[in-house]
């Protein structure tokens, strides 16, 4: 399963926690086996919230004694403000290791500070996304006065069929969908979801159907029904399919070296700084020796797709495509057509 992590707009709002829970159960199989014997008074949601709170607190503090963890626990209102028992804390640490792949240990001397010794989630973007989302969810829900002060972008398709698709992947059962692409008639058919991906406030699923492997936007699915028909995942590796593209359109085109100028200074909104703080793609590399006082030069290894061109146009006159020539010419044609359109509209 893969997620686009361009920004925190990928956060699932608190009201849709059930979606987050299903994604958790898919990505962390042991999630469904949380130790219920030791948590009969707590529902699974509360347990996971507590685990995430502990991970986030210890991460931020670096090394912290148990007494400080306990004070912060009560101050945050965890378990209705009750004291965190040492045995319960140690049990939580064990569960966190099993579920999230994060090891928390005690230094064994001095103030006996607890710290994270191994964090498997750092190499897994989905786990990182889930933990960040749930940490923010916990904080906002614990602070009533902040609920109207943390403003997030809505993801309409996340409220519709995401749970059905994720559950189908977990159980490896086919889904019957009624799909209507823009400008086309509705069709209904079975799909075998291979992964889900979030891009620009829309959820997509890469799925195998009667016509092969295709990408389907969840907001174009009018209806989705689970079935009991089993399927096996194909040999494709989702992360590799999307590795050298921006967006959701798998492409057979070759990966090319794309070079872009990002202009400096207030006049251009310090575009070079924006690209450094939020790269267009993980392959972004700055070529310092080619940069000047006027612009910085960035290089990417990408396939040329519709979404890539959209992304480049999004930056307006603050960037310039240097190469390859084919992409530069395509950008010129689009800009020329836009210019002609606005000139015609001005005359009319």
Query: What's the CATH code, domain 256-347?
Result: 3.30.70
Task: Classify 114 in phi/psi space as left (phi over 0), alpha (psi -120 to 50) or beta.
Answer: beta
- In angstroms, what CA-CA distances link 317 with 187, 275, 320? 41, 14, 7
Q: Which of 321, 315, 300 is nearest to 269 (CA)?
A: 315
Write down the pLDDT at residue 134.
67
pLDDT in tens, the chain (348 residues): 343 323 333 334 444 444 455 555 555 544 444 444 444 444 666 788 888 889 888 888 888 999 999 998 988 888 877 899 999 999 999 888 887 788 898 887 656 789 888 665 555 666 666 666 666 666 666 666 666 777 767 777 656 788 889 889 988 999 999 999 999 999 999 999 999 988 888 899 999 999 999 999 999 999 999 999 999 999 888 888 888 999 998 788 899 999 999 999 998 889 999 999 999 999 999 999 999 999 999 999 999 999 999 999 999 999 999 999 999 999 999 999 999 998 886 655
In whole angstroms, give the CA distance from residue 284 to residue 303. Answer: 13
Write down the pLDDT at residue 250.
77
| pLDDT digits 0-9 by tens, 212-268 | 999 999 999 999 999 999 999 998 888 888 889 999 987 888 999 999 999 999 988
Phi, psi for 291 (deg, rounded to 5)? -80, 155
In whole angstroms, give the CA distance from residue 13 to residue 163. Answer: 14
Write down the pLDDT at residue 162.
85
Fold of the domain built from segment(s) 156-241 = SH3 type barrels. (2.30.30)
Write down the pLDDT at residue 82.
86
**Strand ranges inside 69-112, DSSP E:** 102-106
Note the maximum CA span of the chain: 80
Domain boundaries, the chain: 8-146, 156-241, 256-347
pTM of the predicted structure, to 2 decimals: 0.68
Write down the pLDDT at residue 320.
95
Q: What is the dihedral of CA 130, 135, 139, 140, to 10 degrees?
A: -20
CB-based contacts of 225, cutoff 8 Å, min separation 6:
164, 175, 176, 177
| Residue 325 structure tokens | 């020539």
Question: Cβ of 316: how many Cβ atoms within 10 Å?
Answer: 11
């Amino acid at each position: 399963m893969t997620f686009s992590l361009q920004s925190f707009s990928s956060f699932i709002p608190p009201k849709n926690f059930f979606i987050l829970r299903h994604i958790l159960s898919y990505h962390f199989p042991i999630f469904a086996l949380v130790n219920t014997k030791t948590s009969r008074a707590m529902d699974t949601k509360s347990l996971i919230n507590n685990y995430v709170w502990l991970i986030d607190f210890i991460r931020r503090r670096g090394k912290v004694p148990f007494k400080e963890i306990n004070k912060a626990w009560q101050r945050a209102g965890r378990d209705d403000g009750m004291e965190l028992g040492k045995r319960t804390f140690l049990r939580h640490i064990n569960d966190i290791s099993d579920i999230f792949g994060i090891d928390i240990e005690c230094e064994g001397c001095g103030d006996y500070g607890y710290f994270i010794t191994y964090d498997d989630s750092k190499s897994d973007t989905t786990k990182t996304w889930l933990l960040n989302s749930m940490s923010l969810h916990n904080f906002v829900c614990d602070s009533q006065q902040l609920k109207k002060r943390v403003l997030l972008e809505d993801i309409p398709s996340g409220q519709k069929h995401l749970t059905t698709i994720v559950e189908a992947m977990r159980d490896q059962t086919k889904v019957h969908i009624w799909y209507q692409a823009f400008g086309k008639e509705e069709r209904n058919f079975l799909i075998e979801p291979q992964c889900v991906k979030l891009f620009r406030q829309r959820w997509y699923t890469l799925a195998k159907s009667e016509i092969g492997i295709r990408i389907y936007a969840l907001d174009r699915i009018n209806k989705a029904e689970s079935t009991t028909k089993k399927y096996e995942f194909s040999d494709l590796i989702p992360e590799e399919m999307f590795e050298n593209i921006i967006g959701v359109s798998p492409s057979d085109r070759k990966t090319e070296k794309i070079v872009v100028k990002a202009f400096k200074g207030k006049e251009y909104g310090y575009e070079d700084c924006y690209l450094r703080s939020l790269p267009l793609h993980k392959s972004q590399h700055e070529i310092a020796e080619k940069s000047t006082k006027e612009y910085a030069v960035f290089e990417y290894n990408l396939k040329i797709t519709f979404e890539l061109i959209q992304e480049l146009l999004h930056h307006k006159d603050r960037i310039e495509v240097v190469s390859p020539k084919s992409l530069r010419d395509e950008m010129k044609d689009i800009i020329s057509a836009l210019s002609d359109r606005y000139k015609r509209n001005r005359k009319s």
